[in-house]
Amino acid sequence: MPRTGRRALFLGGLLAPGIARAQGGRPVTLLVPFAPGGTTDIAARLIQEALSRALENLVVIENRPGAGGAVAAEAVRRAAPDGRTLLLATASTHGVNPAVFPDLPYDAERDFAPIALFGVTPQALAVNPGLPLRETAHLIALLRAEPGRHNYASAGVGSITHLACEWFLQAAGGLRATHVPYRGGGPALQAVASGEVTFTIETTATLAAALRDGRVRGLAVATRARSRAFPELPTLHEEGLTGFNAGSWTMAVAPPGTPAETLLRLNAAFGRAVSDPEVARRMAEIGTEVVADSTPESAAAHIRDEIARWRSVVEAAGLTITRS
């Protein structure tokens, strides 16, 4: 077992001692498709204990990063459909990646059985605080007055931040700005804070501390509804970019062929886990809003809608990207 897996098993044992014996079976493994410390990993660990209680079985978290989430996705796609190996799918693995990369080793809709969407993290439009920009309209006016002279940061080519910024430029009237990709959301945030770039659209979880201490200035959130963590920020939809709705999310999915009754049992367990007041409170602290009423059917529809939305952005921007 890889070191991350052993560490997750140890932590899981500390969090929920004895639960694995309740059903006498092997534990449920949640594969996180990214390295420890990110939003998806944190969300997994926040629900781990409550989910173990809901399932009456030990839940183990295993980080299996690589290929933008494809390594973990492939592992779950090939796993036995018995409800014991699950993937924490995200807006990247099951929304943006299928829309951007034609050479993915998996089909995000066909190769998985959705269980429940359980967390949504809004993205927010942020600018360097040294610029005289207080509203979204100010940034749009600046980009329109100086076409091609400004740039934006993303977490990488083909990332959700890349596509959200492209969508913003399209929705604001076909504006032009230069894309500067970085290796992750943290470096992209630092680029905005230092003035290397003019703006970015990144998750509120990544931006939270910098927004609160003034290292960057938030202009608007990118989801349809305002963020509970930053209610003072209007939405881009409110600011005139009708229909703009870009956020990160976390969903549990199972291997294809998982029986319907297993999916419903798992769905109920995830709903109970995120309904725990302490889980909801701690999720809110990282800018993630819990979803307690998702169904397998609504989760599947969410994946379809996300892929369609991002494909339209990719086509409008004329982006052609292949995985290296």
| Least confident window among 11-15, 31-35, 80-84, 147-151 | 11-15
| Mean pLDDT for all residues in the chain | 90
Distance CA 80, CA 24 (A): 18
State residue 108's pLDDT score: 96
Alpha helices for 16-135 (secondary structure H): 20-23, 39-55, 70-77, 97-100
Mean pLDDT of 227-256: 95
pLDDT classification of 10: cutoffs 50, 70, 90:
very low
Instruction: Give me the residues paired with residue 60 across strands.
Output: 29
Residue, of 18 and 239, whose pLDDT is higher: 239
Strands 85-90 and 247-254, by their bridges, are antiparallel
In CATH terms, 122-246 corresponds, of 3.30.70.260, 2.20.28.90, 3.40.190.10, 3.40.50.2300, to: 3.40.190.10
Looking at residue 31, its amino acid is: L
Nearest one of 104, 20, 44, 100 to 69, comparing CA atoms: 104
- In the chain, the percentage of residues whose pLDDT exceeds 70 is 92
Please state which of the ranges 23-37, 220-234, 283-297 shows the lowest mean pLDDT: 23-37
Residue 4 has pLDDT above 70, yes or no: no
Domain boundaries defined on the chain: 3-120+248-315, 122-246
Burial 217-246 (b: 16+ CB within 10 A, else e): bbbbbbbeebbebbeebbbbbebebeebbb
Q: Hey, what CATH class is 3-120+248-315 in?
A: alpha beta
Residue pLDDT, tens place only, 91-147: 999 999 999 988 899 999 999 999 999 999 999 999 999 999 999 999 999 999 999
Give me the pLDDT at residue 22, please.
Answer: 40
Q: Average pLDDT in the 58-78 region?
A: 93
Task: Specify the higher pLDDT residue, 233 or 1.
Answer: 233
Structural tokens at position 8: 């997750």
**pLDDT score of 324:** 60
pLDDT over 90 for what percent of the chain? 74
pLDDT at position 18 over 60:
no
- Which residue would you say has higher pLDDT here, 302 or 24? 302
DSSP-derived secondary structure for 260-278:
HHHHHHHHHHHHHHHHSHH
What DSSP state is assigned to residue 270? H
Residue 184: pLDDT band by 50, 70, 90 thresholds?
confident
Task: Please indicate whether the domains covering 3-120+248-315 and 122-246 agree at the CATH topology level.
Answer: yes
pLDDT value of position 321:
76
Whether 19 shows a pLDDT value over 50: the answer reads no
Query: What pLDDT shows up at residue 274?
Result: 96
